[in-house]
Amino acid sequence: HAPDGAIPGRAPPPLALSEARCAAPMASSEEDGTNGGASEAGDEKEPSGRRRRLGLAATAWLTFYNIAMTAGWLVLAIAMVRFYMEKGTHRGLYKSIQKTLKFFQTVALIELTCFSLQGIVPTSVLVTGVQVSSRIFMVWLITHSIKPIQNEESVVLFLVSWTVTEITRYSFYTFSLLDHLPYFVKWARYNFFIILYPVGVAGELLTIYAALPYVKKSGMFSIRLPNKYNVSFDYYYFLLITMASYIPLFPQLYFHMLRQRRKVLHGEVIVEKDD
Ligand SMILES: CCCCCCCCCCCCC/C=C/C(=O)SCCNC(=O)CCNC(=O)[C@H](O)C(C)(C)COP(=O)(O)OP(=O)(O)OC[C@H]1O[C@@H](n2cnc3c(N)ncnc32)[C@H](O)[C@@H]1OP(=O)(O)O
């Protein structure tokens, strides 16, 4: 299919370390296909696309990052299962796992600022930007900031969806980088989202919805007139607009993943006009 660098809306092809702060020298910018590794392609004559494309330092750094993130989200999954088995309720779950969640979800900003924007990985800046910023928003400006909603069932919905997704996604990247991608990991990466994406988004929207009365009552994060800057901001209406923005944005993310699925699992050639 078309080279990564030729896809509009996508980050440029990976850069060498001397060219970008976070990257390592690459051997070639030649396209490697989408299966994420030579083991899938069965190509034994040449090094895999990933090895050609990324230098040793970048591969090592990405592998370390992805292993750490897989481990982090696994720890979160185990903590959630243990909590539920011990307490038999979701009440108090968020409080018990919040530190781990905040840490690993916030660290994911690296993927936007370092990997995607710098072009280390051929991921879509726009898709990754919407994905990461909406998660950071949910973690810090909703669930962390509005304590009364932390025990809502909807919080569990997005926590479980995010956790399963991230364990699958980071292990997919790790195994791909190591050129030993088991088919079931690839299959999980490009099938689980079909259910988990809508479930996660439903959890997020229901949580924001549950937050609305508290935000309205408290006037939190809002700026009222009159003030010396003559500026007003109403967090309540901001949340309504944010909820509405899921309507145009979520289908784009979902269809992006469906296109990726067709490309990776079924080898379809897809020319993306825009992300
Ligand atoms: C300020 C307020 C803002 C509010 C905004 C509101 C609107 C919000 C609307 C919608 C919000 C959605 C919120 C999210 C909810 C959930 O997550 S619910 C749980 C379910 N979620 C999912 O299933 C997420 C699925 N989406 C993805 O996984 C996306 O792929 C992605 C993470 C967003 C990235 O997109 P994409 O560009 O398709 O990247 P990939 O295909 O994964 O990667 C492209 C290539 O880059 C390589 N790569 C990427 N990252 C890495 C890495 N860390 N390490 C190594 N390599 C990496 C990848 O392997 C690909 O390489 P090639 O194989 O060579 O192409």
Closest C-alpha residue for ligand 1 atom 38:
123
List the one residue out of 209, 238, 236, 242 whose CA is nearest residue 220.
Answer: 236
Between 153-177 and 192-218, two packed helices, what is the crossing angle to 10 degrees? 140
pLDDT of residue 37: 35
Task: Kindly indicate the confidence band of residue 55, based on its pLDDT and cuts at 50, 70 and 90.
Answer: confident
Does 32 have pLDDT greater than 90? no
- The per-residue pLDDT of the chain, averaged, comes to 84
Q: Which residue would you say has higher pLDDT here, 1 or 136?
A: 136
User: How large is the C-alpha radius of gyration of the chain?
Assistant: 20
| Confidence at 218, pLDDT banded by 50, 70, 90 | very high
Decide if pLDDT at 9 tops 60. Answer: no
Q: Among 44-48, 86-90, 170-174, 199-203, where is mean pLDDT lowest?
A: 44-48
pLDDT, residue 271, reads 65
- The pLDDT of residue 208 is 98
Residues with CB under 6 A from ligand 1: 32, 34, 36, 62, 66, 111, 115, 121-124, 127-128, 130-131, 133-135, 137, 161-162, 165, 169, 173, 176-177, 193, 196-197, 200-201, 242, 245-246, 249-250, 253, 256-257, 260
Of 35 and 248, the one with more pLDDT:
248
Burial of 79 (0-12, 13-18, 19+ CB in 10 A): middle
Q: How confident is the model at residue 145 (pLDDT cuts 50, 70, 90)?
A: very high
Could you tell which of 26, 66, 112, 121 is best to mutate to test the pocket of ligand 1, judged by most ligand atoms within 8 Å of the CB? Answer: 121
Confidence of residue 268 (pLDDT cuts 50, 70, 90): confident
What is the mean predicted confidence (pLDDT) over 137-158? 98
CA distance 217 to 205: 19
Residue 210 and residue 145: Cα distance in Å, rounded? 13
Nearest CA to ligand 1 atom 59: 173
Let me know the angle formed at the C-alpha of 114 by 5 and 182, rounded to the nearest 5 degrees: 70
| pLDDT tens column, 221-233 | 999 999 999 999 9
Enumerate the active-site residues.
197, 204
Q: What is the pLDDT of residues 102-119, one digit of tens each?
A: 999 999 999 999 998 888
Q: Give the per-residue pLDDT at 269.
A: 75
Domain ranges of the chain: 17-266
More confident residue, 268 or 103: 103
In this prediction, residue 191 has a pLDDT band, given cuts at 50, 70 and 90, of very high
Q: Find out whether 172 and 166 touch, Cβ atoms under 8 Å.
A: no
Is the pLDDT at 40 greater than 80, yes or no?
Answer: no
d(CA 239, CA 39): 46
